[in-house]
Structure 1
Amino acid sequence: MTITTKSKSRYSIGSMVFHWLIAILVIWNWRLAANAEHAETGAQASALFADHKAIGITILVLTLGRIVWRLTHPMPALPGNYATWERVLARTTHAIFYILLILLPLGAWIANSMSGRSIDMFGLFTIPPLPVSANRELGHSIFEIHATCAMFMIYLVGLHILGALKHTFFDKDGGIFRMLPFGRVRRSA
């Protein structure tokens, strides 16, 4: 197969920016939550969770922007060397990512709102609670689901990274370079 760097073999620059910003924020947010869980004081945990919530809302906004971008900019076809199971796994993984990137922050915002708490966006402005009924018990249950789904997302990130590395270094189709503005990408079928 021919190796090419034509734009139809890789994602658009806008898609790349959304992808890498969201990826960095997801991993950073995961670490913030883990650090908050192990904080020495309640004040430290609260400060870390405040940043975690603000980053979560940022991820939600960026994800909605990414969806709009994706709907208005064509996505490159998967390389022709992908087996059927790899195509199904790639599409399924991406769909689950989008679902989680919306539901995780939205669910947390709802749960937060059930306790009447607003979200401080890094001291710049405050997002008020959603107009939902007060229900701390249900809010706590939603946070538990949030934590479980967040761990699932981290495992999914690991699977995604392994897939990109497999395609780049074993299949040598330039998999990771489809989402980078440099490198050689094998032409899609």
Structure 2
Amino acid sequence: MTKPQRYSAGAMFFHWTIAVLVIWNWRLAENANHAGDRAQAMAIFADHKAIGILILVLTVFRLIWRLTHPVPPLPGNYAPWERILARTTHIVFYVLLLALPIGAWLANSLAGRDIDMFGLFTIPALPVGRNEGLAETIFGIHGTGGEIMIYLIGLHILGALKHTFFDKDGGIFRMLPFGRVGKERSSLR
């Protein structure tokens, strides 16, 4: 019995939904940082925070999905450094997808702020007490983590394009429901 070369429909759903939300949230943060006034920035950041919590929830479900559904093996033609880079990138993605929203929730809590979920309900502040200085430090780390996430997305896209168009192993089609996934070539690397 051969292992599937393509990710499951559930994995594709989580991958693409979270990817779109992360990029959208990055753009919201950029827009908020360049807003004309504080009220406009806070309104944009309210959406940014709500989407961050949504990303956190989807990531938890994505991890559960990943643990309960088989993941296709990396193609056999990957060099050892490509295998290490692919695995490391995915681990860092998961860490950031969890740590960024949790860190922002903690920072908001330290600043005494709840998180409004698009006017539908409110996520209360964590019971951590107020500490504006620590909140600002965590927000700074959150911003740096967000920048790392964007660079990592760029690296991920470049890798998918390399494998699809140069190596011709169907890299990007492993995470799409269409397209030709390249034939698995065995390798003893």
Q: Normalising to structure 2: TM-score of the pair? A: 0.95
Cα deviation code 1:87-118 (max 9, x no counterpart): 00000000000000000000000000001110
Name the CA distance, whole Å, in 1 between partners of 2:144 and 2:45.
17
What is the letter of the counterpart of residue 57 of structure 1? I
1:19-70 Cα deviation digits (max 9, x unpaired): 0000000000000000000000111101100000000000000000000000
Residue segments in structure 1 that go unaligned for 5+ positions in a row: 1-5
Aligned partner of 1:111 among 107, 132, 138: 107
Match 2:16 to one of 15, 20, 26: 20
Distance 2:163 2:157 in 1: 10
Q: Does 1:175 align with 2:175?
A: no
* Paired-residue identity, %: 71
User: Is 1:123 matched with 2:113?
Assistant: no
Q: How far 1:133 moved relative to its partner?
A: 1.9
Q: Deviations over 1:117-176 (max 9, x none)?
A: 100000111100011121010000000000001101100000000000000000000000
Match of 1:30 in 2: 26
Please identify runs of 4+ aligned residues in structure 1 that moved more than 3 A.
none
Equivalent residue runs for 1:3-152 within 5 Å: 8-152=4-148
The one-letter code sitting in structure 1 at the alignment partner of 2:126 is L
Offset of residue 7 of structure 1:
7.4
**Separation in 2 of the partners of 1:145 and 1:105?**
12
1:3 maps to none
Q: Tell me: higher relative CO, structure 1 or 2? Use CA pairs within 8 A at least 6 residues apart.
A: 1
Structure 2 CA distance, aligned partners of 1:108 and 1:94?
A: 21
User: Hey, what's the Cα distance between the residues in 1 that align with 2:163 and 2:183?
Assistant: 13
Quote the Cα distance in structure 2 between the aligned partners of 1:76 and 1:186: 13
AA at the equivalent of 1:145:
I
Q: TM-score, normalised by structure 1?
A: 0.95
Cα distance in 1, alignment partners of residues 76 and 111 from structure 2: 51
CA distance, structure 2, for counterparts of residue 165 and residue 10 of structure 1: 16
SS at match of 1:148: helix
